Amino acid sequence: MGRRWSDGRGKLIVQGAAGTVAVPLELATSYRARTKGLLGRDAIDGAMLLSPASSVHTFRMRFPIDVAYLDRDLKVVAVHTMKRGRLGLPRARARHVLEAGAGVMAGWGVRVGVRVTVEGAE
């Protein structure tokens, strides 16, 4: 599935055991947007999707983050909380990376095996 998103905004839809959760989403698909990511921010309202990407770092970040690695079908293959100043190892099957403030992904139901959907951004 070759996805062609543009930088912008949309919604992340997570369907879990507790129901459906819609989360505000920022898309970073250009090289420039992916490179900047969450740098220089004190927080994020919702999540950011980096695409394509298979790893991230938290150097020069101001807050810890939750990171979910997604495969080509937007299925979660790994979820980690990263402190500031860390380098995440690349995930072999990861094609996209979802970032959010530390601790929020569990509340949304983002865990290994869950498939998410991106709406409103094509």
Using the predicted structure, report yes or no on whether residue 38 has a pLDDT greater than 60. yes
**pLDDT, tens digit, 9 for 90 and up, residues 50-100:** 999 999 999 999 999 999 999 999 999 999 999 999 999 999 999 999 999
Q: Quickly state the pLDDT bin for 16 (edges 50, 70, 90).
A: confident
State which amino acid sits at residue 35.
T
pLDDT at position 121 is 61
**What does 70-104 look like in DSSP terms, one character per residue?**
E-TTSBEEEEEEE-TT-BPPPPTT--EEEEEETTH
pLDDT at position 2 is 52
Using the predicted structure, report yes or no on whether residue 11 has a pLDDT greater than 70. yes
